[in-house]
Amino acid sequence: MKLIPVISFLIIGVCTAFTPPAEDGITINITNLRNDKGHVLISLYKEGEGFPDKAEKAFRKERVAISNKKAIIQFSSVPAGNYAVAILHDENDDAKMNKTWLGLPKEGYGFSNNVMGALGPPAYNKASFRHTAGQSTTIEIKTKY
C-alpha cells in the first residue's frame, strides 16, 4: 500500500518537471549578423525615452555573445507598456557605433519592427510595439550593414 503514494508522487513530479515556466518578458532574436566577432549591444527603450541613441536612458540594456551569426536575449519580468529596441553589432567590442568619414555606420544595426529611417534612425512610433504584462513577446530583428 505504501507503493501507491510513492508512484503518485513520482507521476506528479515528472509532469511538473516538464511543464514550461510561465513567460513574462520580451525575447529578441537577432539575425543576419555578418560574422561571430564581438558582441551585440541591445537597448530596450520604454515609452520612447532616449530612443534610439541614448543607451544610458534605456529601460534595460545587455551585451550578448553571437553564435552562428545570430544572437538572442530574454528580458524577464517586463511590465506592460510600449517599447522599442535598438541593436548594434559591436564587432570590435569598443561599445560604440563606428562610422565612415561620411558618417555612415561601419557596423551592423537594427530596430524593432525592422524599420529604418530615411536619413537616420527611425522614429519611436515606427519601431515601437506593445508588451502585455504576464505574457511573452518575441521580436525579430534583421541586422543591416
Residue 129 one-letter amino acid? F
The per-type count for the chain, helices as H runs and strands as E runs, is 2, 8
Domain boundaries, the chain: 22-142
Tens of pLDDT, residues 51-79: 999 999 999 999 999 999 999 999 999 99
CATH homologous superfamily for the domain 22-142? Immunoglobulins (2.60.40.10)
The C-alpha atoms of residue 140 and residue 82 are separated, in whole angstroms, by 16
The number of C-alpha atoms within 13 Å of 94 and in the hemisphere containing its C-beta is 7
Strands (E) in the chain, as ranges, are: 25-31, 39-46, 60-64, 71-76, 81-90, 109-111, 129-131, 136-142
In this predicted structure, the answer to whether residue 5 has a pLDDT above a threshold of 90 is no
Can you tell me the mean pLDDT for 93-97? 96
20-57: pLDDT as tens digits: 433 679 999 999 999 999 999 999 999 999 999 999 99
In angstroms, rounded to a whole number, what is the distance separating the alpha carbons of residues 91 and 34?
Answer: 10
- Rg for the chain (alpha carbons), in Å? 20
Residue 88's pLDDT band (boundaries 50, 70, 90)?
very high
